[in-house]
Structure 1
Amino acid sequence: MARLPFFLLTLGLILALQSPAHAATELAPIGSGSVRYLGLIKVYDATLYAPLQSSETAILGAEQSICLQLDYAVDVPSSAFIEAAETILARQHEPDVLTRVRPQIDVIHGSYRDVGDGDSYRLCYDDTSGRSRLALNDEILATVDSAEFAAIYFGIWLSPDQPLDESLRDDLFAGLKQEINK
């Protein structure tokens, strides 16, 4: 009989650790914004999740866990994701840098699917494992192990050096406490 309370306690802890409430205490929304085509047609809303005490430096250096969620308002073919990512990565990084993470980039790009209104992509990086995970509507499509990949790929949206959209970048970082330059 002593085993039953232990089992229930263990089960309760496991369920609590897997619950959305527990996940929300680890990563919280830091900022959000929208991407619009020609400034008019909303393509997607983006939300950046990170620990509340995050810094821009830690996020950009893949020193903290983060998630970027993209909630789509229009149909977008997978080829458009790949073309846009490759264009931005090429303008942000030297070829030798991209060559180092090319296998991880290819895994993510090979996993993209066409999306429509109401679909959500979620790209998450776990700083403890060094693993990034891409999910579409909560279905995990790809997992890659590389902190360097995370720093480079999240830079598509978050880098101060020619991100996808500077206004979106500012909106995603809006909730961070300002870093004091010493």
Structure 2
Amino acid sequence: MAQVAPAHASPLAATPPLAGTRMAGEGVLRFLGFEIYRARLWVQPGFDADNYAAQPLALELTYQRNFTADAIAKRSIEEMRRVGSFTPQQATRWQQALAAALPDVKPGDRLLGLYQPGAGAVFKMGGRVVGEVPDADFSRLFFGIWLSPQTSEPGLRQELVAATRGAAGQP
């Protein structure tokens, strides 16, 4: 099972990737003691974590290991199955689209995923678009990997939405 540890980024690294957003939280995903990536979530004021799919957001992953785009896509589809159901045909189409949209990553690479409800996902690295998957169902389930209550990493989800919970007075 993966472990989550709080991440503490420098204030200089906390530039909002979307206009009008603020960082809601951050965390580190570890697997068998190895750091896999650091994650940061950016949301607009009034963000409701329990209704994440209705609101624009940005999720930044800073990788600490080498991964191919194919490996990330395959694992993403596995994790998306926890969030919701989809057909084998959708799984194949989405895995291919995600593998084509993402670059291979190495330690230190920052991949930014932008979610627009009903529109799909856009991926950026180094300030430029590296790919997109223009499918609303895909993007809702993809960002649900981190934000859905059905996530395989509830501790990381709690870290990511920490500021939104505190602001709303929720547990």
TM-score by structure 1 length?
Answer: 0.72
- Among the aligned pairs, what percent are the same residue? 21
Match for residue 138 of structure 1? 127
Match for residue 42 of structure 1? 35
Match for residue 142 of structure 2? 153
Could you tell me which runs of 5 or more consecutive residues in structure 1 were left unpaired when the two chains were aligned: 1-19
Larger Rg: 1
CA RMSD in angstroms comes to 2.7
Q: 2: distance between equivalents of 1:79 and 1:135?
A: 17
Q: Which of 68, 86, 93 is the equivalent residue of 1:77?
A: 68
- Is the 2:17–2:58 contact (alpha carbons within 8 Å) kept by the matching residues of 1? no
Cα drift, residue 55 of structure 1: 0.7
Q: 2: distance between equivalents of 1:144 and 1:110?
A: 9
Matched, 1:93 2:87: no
Matched, 1:52 2:40: no
User: In 2 relative to 1, CA 106–137 (structure 1 residues): closer, same or farther, beyond 3 Å?
Assistant: same
What number of residue pairs does the alignment pair up?
155
Could you tell me which runs of 5 or more consecutive residues in structure 2 were left unpaired when the two chains were aligned: 1-13
Higher helix share goes to which structure?
Answer: 1
Deviations 1:1-20 (A, max 9, x none): xxxxxxxxxxxxxxxxxxx9
Correspondence 1:91-130 to 2 at 5 A: 91-96=82-87, 99=89, 103-127=93-117, 130=119
Q: 1: distance between equivalents of 2:47 and 2:28?
A: 22
